[in-house]
Amino acid sequence: MHDSAILEKIKLNNKTAMITGASRGLGRRFSSVLSNMGANVVLAARNKDKLLETQEIIKQSNGECYIVDMDVNSEDSINNAFNKAEKKYGEVSILINNAGIAISKSSLKTSIEDWDSVMNTNLRGVFACSKVFANRLVAKQKAGKIVNISSIAAEIVLGEYLSSYCASKAAVSHLTRTLAFEYAKYNIQVNAIAPGYILTDLNKNFFDTKEGKKMIETIPQKRLGKPEELDGALLLLCSELGSFMTGSVIRVDGGHVIA
């Protein structure tokens, strides 16, 4: 295949992608990357001020984007967000389930409310957004792609205080496989990316500490990942380059899990 043919397959012109948790961190990066590849990007989250920051970054690159308010814990909110997105751009054919939280506490000190908060955002939210998205595509007999953001926490224990987070991400990885099996007959692909330790503004201070540096030493490549090092996996799963992939969970972790 010639380079030009590969480039054509990776382009997302005339596609519309919705990214949950687009207000900061990896969600902001994913939004910018998909916009740069030609997609109309729908930025979904509850923090409008932060969404406006993401929108400004995309507009500076001449990208096309639109903000919608979304609470992934509310099916009504999700439906309203999709209604607004479709009114603006037409059919949404790519969904990035990125919204997620972590509460770092010993399981002995984790309240049921803490547990429910993590599970509702990280797992129930992924299910609810996927369900709404898939139902709309099935009704129109249209193809689509879902990319869930899991974590290496689905496979290994990340310290003593992340039981709810690890459990939620393990469930996301398996939900990815079960939905992929169910949705294959509708030509809806469901895959996931499982990042390892990726440097962001939210964790930079921690990884500058003695404990943080010690954790970095456990990674075979002896460094943190950069947000842009997730671009390849994202574009593979969102574009026609990944047309024969479904039910896959792609680790991007510097070899952390195999260590």
Q: What is the pLDDT of residues 157-189, one digit of tens each?
A: 988 899 999 999 999 999 999 999 999 999 999
For residue 60, pLDDT over 70 is answered with yes
* Assigned domain for 37 exists: yes
Q: Mean pLDDT across the stretch 225-251?
A: 98
- How far, in Å, CA of 125 to CA of 71, rounded? 8
* Assigned domain for 84 exists: yes
Could you tell me the CA-to-CA distances from 238 to 31, 47, 117, 144, 248 in Å, in that order? 12, 25, 29, 9, 13
Band (pLDDT 50/70/90 cuts) for residue 1 is low
* Assigned domain for 164 exists: yes
The larger pLDDT score, comparing residue 241 to residue 3, is at 241
| Residues classed as catalytic | 165
Band (pLDDT 50/70/90 cuts) for residue 6 is confident
Q: Mean pLDDT across the stretch 58-79?
A: 97
* Assigned domain for 258 exists: no
pLDDT, position 200 = 87
Strand partners, 192: 148, 249
pLDDT 10s digits, 73-109: 999 999 999 999 999 999 999 999 999 999 999 999 9
pTM: 0.96
String of DSSP letters for 58-71: HHHTT--EEEEE--
* Assigned domain for 259 exists: no
Instruction: Tell me how many domains the chain contains.
Output: 1
- How far, in Å, CA of 110 to CA of 173, rounded? 23
* Assigned domain for 113 exists: yes
pLDDT, position 141 = 98
Q: Residue 147 — left, alpha, or beta (φ > 0 → left; ψ -120 to 50 → alpha)?
A: beta
* CATH at 167: 3.40.50.720
* Assigned domain for 257 exists: no
pLDDT 10s digits, 13-28: 999 999 999 999 999 9
pLDDT, position 5 = 83
Domain that holds residue 229: 3-252
CB-count exposure of residue 30 (10 Å: 0-12, 13-18, 19+): buried
* Assigned domain for 40 exists: yes
pLDDT, position 2 = 66
